[in-house]
Amino acid sequence: MAVDGPEAELHANRIDVRHSGAILVAGSRVDVEGLTRARAMGVRGVIVGGVIGSDVLALRASIERQDASIQASPSFALVVLDGYGKRPIPRSAWEALVACGGQEVGLSITPPLVLFGPGAGLPAVGPDRVRVTAGPLLGRNGRFVRLVGSRRRPGGVFQECARVALDPIALPGSEELVDVPIADLERDG
């Protein structure tokens, strides 16, 4: 775990030679300097919530230059869990990665997967758990309560919505009930 939380960013100055051979969990974002430094320090892979396209292109160009040289570097993987830009690692994925911290894991390129060992002790996720994937509540987790039908959204658009009891941010035990478009929800776990 190279950062303290799923929303944190991994900066290049936090990566050093003690991470050689490791797979780093980078939080919501890592820039091209961090990726380049990770490769130079012998890191085998980085798991991140989001990345910027130009950083991926720069990383690919760096890898291609290294592969064209006489001495090829060890393989390096970048696993992006949630998409473009600064995106927090989904809560269930973060909890799974924390549970496996310090243990051996693997990375698969095709299909892109993080592989946990049989004794990983992954946390159980309830069948009613959901995560908001877009809009002002992006990244929030909660519990699906029920379908509420069509609701008028900003801009006058009507969308089918679900009532979600969002997990508390500050006060434990204080769920916040909100109506979220179904298109902006995904099952968590």
In this predicted model, what pLDDT tens digit does every residue of 80-118 receive, in sequence order? 887 788 888 887 788 888 888 888 888 877 777 788 877
Residue 170 has what pLDDT?
61
Instruction: List, as one string, the DSSP characters of the chain.
Output: --SSSTTPEEPGGG--GGGTT-EEE-TTEE-HHHHHHHHHTT--EEEEEEE-HHHHHHHHHHHHHHHHSSSPPPP-EEEEEEEESS-PPPHHHHHHHHHTTTS-EEEETTTTEEEE-TT--PPP--TTEEEE-SSTTTT-EEEEEEEEEEEE-GGG-EEEEEEEEEPPSSSTT--EEEEEEGGGEEE--
Low-confidence stretches of the chain (pLDDT < 50) are none
Residue 179 has what pLDDT?
93
Residue 121 has what pLDDT?
72
Domain positions in the chain are 9-116, 129-187
pTM: 0.74
Q: Which fold has domain 129-187?
A: SH3 type barrels. (2.30.30)
Q: Percent of the chain, pLDDT > 70?
A: 96
